[in-house]
């Protein structure tokens, strides 16, 4: 059964190698790429069902690379949280690669597009599965190396400038992460997450001082916030999203951003929350690093909602609207996580808030993946992405426009779409946060969510009324949408509807993921830590 843990990683690596080897046979390369994506979905589905969700599933499983016991070897862990994130990656990944085959030119597909796509998936998968901090850094780098190339893929001045900004910020972030990882090793004597959680829970037994963990975790938070595109680290997002090929932008928004969010939840709630370290901040006193996370991440989330929302309202191109929207929408994920950090660890509310963040992350992955791909299909059909040149699309291409309409309604939060449940749960977490921790910061979180919801209605309405209603423009009159691209959009739109209509099992999955994130003891138990006491 433990082999199922690494099955998605093996499928992604094998596909990357095969598509690289088939570079001189483009038709076979495309077939191998699509087949590998289907295999990835299948491997994730089997692993998640057999190990986490099935009636006979153990709930979590571990794979020790080379049979080296933890904490000495490389540990890969599949539990509810990593399973939820892998499922999200599989869904967006298969849609993106199918769209790529119809959207990216044949010549550009041969320029290492498919090997890089699957290496991006390798990095994402490894980050979700890894059980130690150093290998989290390694998988981040695998993901980022592919991302650098994709941002500069078309070689234009805009792409080169965006890639350079993206490179500089992430190289600085990687250096900062190495400093934090090294400092945590010096402070705790281990990099294995389960071993670190165990040692921080009983520091005297291991002769360590957990006090430096607060400052070192703050460095990690900055790095993870950079990966997630949270304010004040959002500057790379609009440029990178508009420069990269559209299917990759869908992956950036739907998957790679979530790696940063996942890392925050995993490290802070599974690992650092076990530490008993007094944190005394203005207006907040706590006994663990979560006391630092709550106000700082909350401020980042509130600022992201404002910056992204107001930025999206003022854009005049579809991809720019959705790029700034992604900055704002990730704030809707960060705020419930911050609320969870401030919640009473003995109560059930912390798990509810984490589940709310995960549901919103799933909604964002599906809806924003759909809208970025739709923007590419519109521009491919009309040769323009400017809203003022796109009037009349609803009548000219009703199926394409219908898919966009579903995505926009989900962003707004209309029931029974996924966005309704994501926003409802985010607001529910904010209201409960006010009840449990009354104060200005709790009220600000709720106000920010309300302002963000209004801004989302404004820019989503503007996109629809300016780009799809009204009299047909000259560009729309001669437009011809690609049937393959539209089929992918319809499938994603159907997923947005179906996940909302059948939301109960989705929420149970999110609850399972939240429980896995918060249950440090279960995480330590599944890893095993054979021989860890001798470290």
46 within some domain: no
Q: Quick one: pLDDT at residue 66?
A: 84
Question: Which pair of tokens denotes residue 123?
Answer: 């990095």
pLDDT, average across residues 453-458: 94
111 within some domain: no
321 within some domain: yes
53 within some domain: no
69 within some domain: no
Residue 281, strand partner residues: 284
Q: Distance between CA atoms of 46 and 458, rounded to whole angstroms?
A: 41
Question: Which pair of tokens denotes residue 332?
Answer: 């809707």
Instruction: Report the sign of the C-alpha dihedral through residues 235, 239, 240, 242, in that order.
Output: positive
24 within some domain: no
Instruction: Report the sign of the C-alpha dihedral through residues 403, 407, 410, 412, in that order.
Output: negative
> Number of folded domains in the chain?
1
Phi, psi (rounded to 5 degrees) for 64: -95, 110
pLDDT band at 279 (very low <50, low <70, confident <90, very high): low
340 within some domain: yes
201 within some domain: yes
Contact between 393 and 445 (Cβ < 8 Å): no
Q: Quick one: pLDDT at residue 386?
A: 85
Strands (E), 274-370: 279-281, 284-286
Contact between 327 and 311 (Cβ < 8 Å): yes
Percent share of the chain, pLDDT over 90 = 67
pLDDT band at 534 (very low <50, low <70, confident <90, very high): very low
- Is the pLDDT reported for residue 285 higher than 70? no
Contact between 455 and 477 (Cβ < 8 Å): no
Give the range of the structural domain holding residue 434, as residue numbers without chain letter: 148-527
pTM for the predicted model, two decimal places: 0.94
Phi, psi (rounded to 5 degrees) for 281: -120, 160
């Amino acid at each position: 059964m433990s082999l199922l843990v690494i099955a998605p990683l093996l499928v992604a690596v094998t596909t990357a190698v095969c598509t690289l080897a088939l570079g001189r046979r483009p038709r076979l390369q495309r077939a191998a790429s699509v087949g590998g994506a289907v295999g990835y979905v299948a491997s994730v589905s089997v692993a998640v069902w057999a190990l986490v969700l099935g009636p006979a599933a153990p709930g979590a499983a571990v794979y020790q690379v080379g049979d080296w016991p933890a904490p000495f070897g490389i540990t890969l862990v599949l539990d509810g949280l990593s399973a939820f994130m892998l499922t999200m990656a599989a869904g967006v990944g298969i849609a993106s690669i199918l769209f790529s085959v119809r959207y990216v030119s044949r010549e550009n597909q041969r320029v290492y597009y498919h090997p890089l796509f699957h290496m991006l998936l390798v990095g994402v998968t490894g980050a979700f599965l890894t059980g130690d901090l150093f290998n989290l850094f390694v998988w981040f780098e695998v993901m980022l190396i592919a991302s650098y190339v994709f941002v500069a893929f078309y070689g234009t001045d805009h792409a080169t400038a965006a890639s350079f900004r993206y490179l500089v910020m992430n190289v600085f972030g990687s250096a900062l992460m190495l400093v934090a990882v090294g400092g945590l090793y010096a402070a705790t004597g281990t990099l294995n997450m389960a071993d670190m959680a165990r040692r921080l829970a009983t520091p005297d037994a291991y002769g360590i001082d957990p006090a430096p963990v607060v400052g070192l975790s703050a460095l990690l938070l900055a790095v993870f916030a950079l990966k997630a595109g949270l304010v004040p680290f959002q500057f790379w997002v609009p440029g990178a999203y508009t420069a990269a090929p559209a299917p990759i932008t869908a992956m950036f928004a739907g998957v790679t951003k979530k790696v940063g969010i996942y890392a925050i939840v995993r490290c802070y709630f599974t690992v650092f929350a076990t530490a008993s370290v007094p944190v005394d901040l203005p207006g907040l006193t706590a006994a663990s690093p979560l006391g630092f996370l709550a106000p700082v991440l909350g401020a980042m989330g509130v600022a992201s909602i404002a910056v992204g929302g107001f930025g999206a309202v003022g854009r005049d191109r579809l991809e720019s609207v959705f790029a700034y929207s992604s900055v704002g929408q990730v704030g809707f994920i960060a705020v419930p996580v911050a609320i969870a950090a401030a919640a009473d660890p003995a109560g059930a509310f912390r798990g509810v808030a984490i589940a709310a963040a995960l549901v919103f992350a799933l909604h964002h992955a599906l809806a924003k993946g759909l809208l970025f791909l739709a923007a590419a299909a519109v521009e491919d059909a009309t040769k323009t992405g400017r809203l003022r040149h796109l009037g009349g699309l609803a009548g000219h291409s009703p199926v394409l426009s219908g898919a966009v309409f579903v995505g926009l309604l989900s962003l707004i939060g209309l029931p029974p779409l996924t966005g309704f449940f994501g926003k409802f749960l985010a607001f529910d977490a904010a209201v409960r946060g006010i009840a449990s921790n009354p104060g200005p910061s709790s009220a600000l979180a709720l106000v920010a969510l309300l302002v963000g919801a209004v801004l989302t209605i404004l820019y989503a309405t503007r996109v629809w009324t300016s780009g799809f209603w009204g009299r047909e423009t000259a560009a729309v009159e001669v437009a011809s949408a690609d049937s393959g691209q539209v089929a992918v959009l319809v499938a994603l739109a159907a997923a947005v509807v179906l996940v909302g209509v059948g939301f109960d099992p989705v929420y149970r999955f999110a609850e399972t993921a939240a429980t896995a994130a918060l249950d440090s003891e279960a995480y330590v138990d599944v890893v095993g830590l054979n021989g860890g006491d001798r470290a």
